[in-house]
Amino acid sequence: MVGILNTVINLLTAAGIGAGAAFLIYRGGRRSVTRRAVAALSGVVLGAASLWGVIAVEKLETTARGVVVSIAASALIFIAANKLFDLTPDRWSVFTTLMGGGGAFLVYAMLWGNRAIDDPVLRTAAATLIGAAAGYLLGTVDGKRARLAIGTGAGAALGALAASGMRRVILIFEREEGPLELWPVLPNLDYGVLIGLTLAGAALGLLSRLVRRRRTALVRPVILWASVGFFIGAWCLPTLGTGTKAEALAAAIVTGAGFGAVLGLKPIPDAQHRGRIEVASRAYIFLLPALGFIAATLIVPTLRTLFLSFHDTHGREFVGGINYRDIFTSSNIFDAAGWPGIFTSRLFIAGAALVLIGLLAAVLAGRRSGYLMSLSPGTAGAAGLGVFLVATAAFAALRGTVFNNLWWVFTVTIIATAAGLAIAVLADRAKWESLAKSLIFMPMAISFVGAGVIWRFMYLARDVSKPQTGVLNTLWVGIGNLSLSRGPGFFLTVIVILAAAALLVRLAVRAWRADERTVGVGAAVCALPLIWFAFALWRGIGGFEVRDNGDVVASTIQFVQRSPFNNVWLMLVLIWIQTGFTMVIFSAAIKAVPADLLEAAEVDGASESQTFWRVVIPQIAPTIGVVVTTLIVLVMKVFDIVKVMTNGNFDTQVIANEMWQRAFTELNFGLGSALAVVLFAAVLPILYLNIRRMQKAAA
Amino acid sequence: MALVSGAGGPGIGKRTYAFLRSIPTWALWLLVVLWTIPTLGLLVNSFRTRDAQRSSGWWHSPFENYAENLTLANYTDILTAGAQGGLWRALLNSLAIALPATVIPIAFAAFAAYAFAWIDFKGREWLFIATVSLLAIPAQMSLIPLLQLYSGGGHLTLPFIEKTLTLFPDLDLTGRAISVWLTHTGFALPFAIFLLHNYISGLPKDIFESAFIDGADHFKIFWRLVVPLSVPVLAAFAIFQFLWTYNDYLIAVTMLGGAGHNFPATARIAALAGEFGQAEHLLTAGAFLSTLLPIIVFFALQRFFVTGILAGSVKG
């Protein structure tokens, strides 16, 4: 029997995969005979392949079975719920019967699951029948008194049925897996508290009606809230397990009767009301699976993590803010002691100089046009680059997990955004545009782990006595050898570089004279690094070092190990991946800029760079905002790359990896939760921005 | 978009000008080459013997003695060798995680997206915003409680009476693929709902109205109209989610913990990368194999993938 079932499920799975693929391919574009043939063929091939896979490989078989069963179960529940509420307009009594039976079953299943009652099977079955009968009667009988009697009676009966199954002694069932303990639930009633809470509940019910200014139907809310108060007083406050059976009976019967009376007091809804119930129920049937999952995996765990972060290692004792204090006093996590080093680093000096040059040029340009300063792309770019270098200098001096994380966010976000925008612009309307974009986009398909391994081979540094096999160190050592050799290759290289620089300078001068200022400045700026490189080659640059005794030996860059800039090399991996993402989005945004805007700019005589900065950039500004916020959230959580490449060693720790190590290798759930909360707090502003944006979009 | 102005001043010269015009294309292809080199190097090296990998860089490969230096042994070794049954098993585990973790959220998200888009109920707007805003919550925020839930069940300690009420029984899910499915499903839903809602709410209103007039209810409209019309966006999300779950490492390694035999390829490769030394030449083949399927899916179905990403970001 099981064998047949498995075969059926396997066949169904294979057919489903094949049909799904065929359908996707068929729907994917213009329908033609070829497309149909391709769809049918690939459906058959995929179906056969999956049938083979499912049968031949036990792992896939169990998985497929799990998926098919869970999908079937969810579909059944979903369809059943829909069918159930289909009954509301025309067959109200059937609906109430099913609801009554189902409700009673659920309550008893809960008691059963928590081992609170004897003979659970029998009692649950009986309760389901009672509930169904009461539901049927409430769905058909019209008389006010009769309905009240039915509701109260059924509720009391259900309560009595449960209470009579509760034992004072702890029953232990012997099972194979170990003893099963029966919950002692008999409540030890405190009558003062009980009456007080019931009255308080009644008052609350009265108040709720008065506040809403609806003075009709006062009885129902009063009984409802009084019952809630009684329930809390009887079952939630007293010591359970020390009372008597009589107390349990009283507590259960009154509770059941109270809630039953509330149902009984409700008249049978008229047709219009039933229609409203039907529509409202649809929303919840469609929403509940998703919202339930979200609550169970996101909302409740988030609250619990908050709770755990204020508790000790195992979440037992409240320790206040000690975990947070530990985070911000640990020198591994938060170390700002190196700050004086910021101002002496070469990066800082170069960055500050660039900022000054940019601002100075802007002021000079502004004097010509009569403003305080006039920022052009060039001057703004220089100043921006300067700020970037200054920030990098600061991050290199401030150590610890938190600063590392901020450094990641800063660098990856800025470079991936800028590079993606630049590539999108370069690729726009270029030949073979889609191929170029595909190749740059491809790393998005590679896992962070895979990317980490790929780049490990790029950064490989082998013993200097052997040939290098990593691309970057090979280049570095190669440049060093070239620079040292002073042979014909060396001179040829220097001459070629200088010649290229001379051509650029000539171009710069000619362009400047021809009033093509942008080209002139650009050529001059490009010539500078060439001249610098020729000079550096002359002085000696690259992978070698001179020993004290005058010997020259090769040397490599330990990209992954040498702090603090190993962080930057790790960031490069993420930039490599994410640039494809930003490029694709910017590319679409640029193509979506209205053509008449561009035409208008052209008619007005704007140059292409002016069009880009003054028309395209403002048009895609919202997209830039979206990309930046998405990247910030993503980079803030960076984990896999660091875990695979350094595991947080060599001063490269980030918050997510620190959290993982504290929580899952040291099993310190308190500190781990606190670190998660820090991460959460860091993305909260983004969360707020996203909500604001969506509210605007909705409005 | 070129870097120089359209006129081409007389002072620069025609040929120089043409050269300047071509710079963007050159720069683009230079970047493309730079972007491709790391993957290409891994691919080439994965076919070279251990000795070849250790003695020279992958770019020497075309100039070497092929018979001596090229081999498939890295692939056969990594697929079969190892205490946990080789990478073959890990690749199957990846599929066993990624396929259900793709299919399950699609169904749930489609229901919810339809409700948010076309069923009128109280509090619809704020509930939608609240749901989607959960997108930004870091997975780390849920990991510890979820692991506790899967390994010990969910219990509510009632205040005052110090009784523990079991809401979710201890099913001992840790170390099994189902714990990873459930986690991925929950984490994917906000994005999935957002993506599908964008599309489904944009369907023309007339078809719904005429369907209602014809007496169809929401259930029928969902199956007969919304699902068939939403195939492109469902496919887009499916591809996105498949790549995401197939490539995931954090959730798999957290939920599967010590159950190495259930590790997906990412976790196995990461473990392999952690053991320095002897097996490094196998790592190339392993890393390439583990990215092979995503790359195929990516190139074959790129259009859908791009649609998904765009709908998720630009329209936001």
Whether the Cβ atoms of residue B56 and residue A467 lie closer than 8 Å to each other = yes
Q: Any idea of the CA torsion for A428, A433, A439, A440, to the nearest 10 degrees?
A: 0
Confidence class for position A368, pLDDT limits 50, 70, 90: confident
pLDDT tier for residue A32 given thresholds of 50, 70 and 90: confident
Report whether pLDDT(A585) > 70. Answer: yes
**Could you report the per-residue pLDDT of B81-117, keeping only the tens digit for each?**
766 668 888 888 898 889 888 988 998 899 999 999 9
User: What are the contacts of A55-59 at 24+ separation with CB within 8 A?
Assistant: A55/A10, A57/B92, A59/B89, A59/B92, A59/B93, A59/B96
pLDDT in the model for residue B137? 86
Nearest in space to B139 (alpha carbons), one of A282, A298, A603: A298
DSSP one-letter code for A312: -
CA A103 to each of CA A108, A164, A225, A372: distance values in angstroms, whole numbers, following the listed order: 9, 20, 20, 76
- For residues A252 and A159, the answer to whether their CB atoms sit within 8 Å is yes
SS3 A172: strand
Residues of chain B with C-beta less than 8 angstroms from the C-beta of A519: 3-4, 12, 20
Q: Is A666 helix (H, G, I), strand (E, B) or coil?
A: coil
Q: Which CATH architecture has domain B74-313?
A: Orthogonal Bundle (1.10)
Q: How many residues does chain B have?
A: 316
Q: How far is CA A500 from the centre of its chain?
A: 49
Q: Are strands B154-157 and A552-554 parallel, antiparallel or unpaired?
A: unpaired
3-state secondary structure at position B82: coil
Please, which residues have CB within 8 angstroms of residue A677's CB and are 6 or more apart in sequence?
A: A305, A306, A309, B141
Whether A484 has a pLDDT exceeding 90, the answer reads no
Query: Lowest-confidence range among A157-161, A582-586, A640-644, B79-83?
Result: B79-83
A242 at B interface, C-beta within 8 A: no
Contacts of B107 in chain A (CB under 8 A): 71, 74-75, 289
Per CB-CB distance under 8 Å, the chain A contacts of B114 are: 286
This prediction has a pTM of: 0.83
- Between B209 and B5, residue with greater pLDDT: B209
**In A330-432, which ranges are continuous DSSP H helix?**
346-369, 377-397, 401-427
Higher pLDDT, A503 or B259: A503
Total count of residues recorded for chain A: 699
Residue A296 makes CB contacts below 8 A (sequence gap 6+) with B149, B186
Residue A663's Cα: distance from chain center in Å? 19
Q: Which residue of A has its CA nearest to B257?
A: A664
Q: What is the mean pLDDT of residues B250-271?
A: 87
Give A-chain residues touching B156 at CB under 8 angstroms.
Answer: none
Taking 70 as the threshold, does the pLDDT of residue B314 lie above it? no
Name, of A11-25, A239-253, A458-472, B145-159, the range with top average pLDDT. A458-472
Which pair of tokens denotes residue B234?
Answer: 């469902």
Q: Are A263 and A138 in contact (CB under 8 A)?
A: yes
Tell me the pLDDT tens digit for each residue of B141-161: 999 999 888 887 666 665 555
Give the mean pLDDT of A614-621: 89
| Confidence at residue A554, expressed as pLDDT on a 0 to 100 scale | 78
The pair of three-digit structure tokens given for residue A452, joined into one six-digit string: 């980490």
- The Cα of B206 is separated from the nearest Cα of chain A by a number of Å equal to 19
Per-residue b/e over A122-146, b at no fewer than 16 CB within 10 Å?
Answer: ebbebbbebbbbbbbbbbebeeeee
> Mean pLDDT score of chain B, rounded to an integer?
82
Q: Is the pLDDT assigned to residue A578 strictly greater than 90? A: yes
- Where does residue A555 rank: exposed (0-12), middle (13-18), buried (19+ CB within 10 A)? middle
Confidence of residue A76 (pLDDT cuts 50, 70, 90): confident
**DSSP of B216-261, one letter per residue?**
--HHHHIIIIIHHHTHHHHHHHHHHHHHHHHH--HHHHHHHTT-GG
- Strand pairing report for A544-546 and B154-157: unpaired
Poorest-pLDDT segment among A679-683, B64-68, B198-202: B64-68
Helix (H, G, I), strand (E, B) or coil at A148: helix
Whether chain B has a CB inside 8 Å of the CB on A447: the answer is yes
Specify the pLDDT at position A515.
Answer: 77
Which letter, b or e, does each residue of A191-200 get, where b requires 16 or more Cβ atoms within 10 Å of its Cβ? eeebeebbeb
pLDDT of A265 over the 70 cut: yes
Look at residue A37 and give its three-state secondary structure.
helix
A44-65 pLDDT, tens per residue?
Answer: 887 777 777 766 666 666 766 7
Q: Is the pLDDT of residue B6 over 50?
A: no
**Chain A residue whose CA is closest to B164:** A114
CB contact under 8 A, A236 and B54: no
With an 8 Å Cβ cutoff, are A519 and B316 in contact? Answer: no
Q: How many helices (H) and strands (E) does chain B have?
A: 16, 2
Burial of A438 (0-12, 13-18, 19+ CB in 10 A): middle
- Most confident stretch, A240-244, A432-436, A494-498: A494-498
Taking an 8 Å cut-off on Cβ atoms, the answer to whether B39 and A454 are in contact is: yes
* pLDDT at residue B30, as a whole number: 93
| Residue B256 and residue B263 in contact, taking contact as beta carbons nearer than 8 Å | yes
- Answer yes or no: are the C-beta atoms of A604 and A473 closer than 8 Å: no
Query: Percent of chain A beyond pLDDT 90?
Result: 28
Kindly state the average pLDDT of the residues B289-296. 90
Q: Is the pLDDT of residue B8 over 50?
A: no
Comparing CB atoms, the residue among A290, A301, A640 nearest residue B109 is: A290
Nearest to A663 by CA among A309, A370, A331: A309
Question: What was the pLDDT predicted at A279?
Answer: 79
Residue A370 tokens, joined: 């009569």
Interface residue of A426, A504, A576, A688 to substitute, partner B, most B CBs within 10 Å: A426
The whole-number pLDDT of residue A481 equals 85
Of B223, B212, B119, the closest CA to residue A284 belongs to B119
- E-state strands within chain B: 154-157, 164-168
Chain A closest-CA separation from residue B62 CA (Å): 15
- Condensed to tens digits (0 to 9), the pLDDT of residues A660-670 reads 999 998 989 99
List the Cα angle A557/A562/A566 in 5-degree steps: 95
Assess whether pLDDT exceeds 90 at residue B248: yes
CB-CB: which of B42, B99, B142 is closest to A301? B142
Q: Looking at residues A92-120, what average pLDDT do you find?
A: 86
3-state SS assignment for residue A318: strand
DSSP A191-207: HHHHHHHHHHHHHHHHH
Q: Where does the pLDDT of residue B61 fall: very low under 50, low under 70, confident under 90, or very high at 90 and above?
A: confident
Contact across the interface for B28 and A458, Cβ inside 8 Å: no
Task: Name the pLDDT band for A378 (thresholds 50, 70, 90).
Answer: confident
Question: What are the beta bridge partners of residue A28?
Answer: none
Q: Amino acid identity, residue A386?
A: G
**Hey, what are A597's tokens?**
């805007």
Measured CA to CA, the distance from residue B113 to residue A229 in angstroms comes to: 38
Instruction: For CATH 1.10.3720.10, list the domain ranges present in chain B.
Output: 74-313
Quote the pLDDT of residue A59: 63
Q: In A, residues 417-436, which contact B (CB 8 Å cutoff)?
A: 423, 425-431, 436
Band the pLDDT of B1: cuts 50, 70, 90.
very low
Q: What is the pLDDT of residues A166-202, one digit of tens each?
A: 765 554 555 555 555 555 677 878 888 888 889 999 9
* Per-residue model confidence (pLDDT) at position B3: 45
pLDDT at residue A680, rounded to an integer: 92
Pairing mode, strands B164-168 and A172-173: unpaired
- Please tell me which of the candidates A474, A627, A676 has its beta carbon nearest to residue B313: A627
**Residue % of chain B over a pLDDT of 90:** 19
Contacts of residue B152, defined as CB under 8 A and 6 or more positions apart, other chains included, come to B170
How is residue A123 written in tokens?
């009692």
Q: For residue B11, is pLDDT > 70? A: no
B30-57 per-position pLDDT tens digit: 999 999 999 999 999 899 888 888 888 8
What pLDDT is recorded for position A398?
86
Q: What is the mean pLDDT of residues A212-231?
A: 81
Spatial CA neighbour of A151 closest among A225, A250, A259, A223: A259
Indicate yes or no: CB of B95 within 8 angstroms of CB of A469: no
A687 within 8 A of A602, measured Cβ to Cβ: no
pLDDT, residue A557, reads 87
**Sequence letter at residue A380:** A
pLDDT of residue A347: 87
Of A574, A591, A599, A621, nearest to A424 by C-alpha is: A591
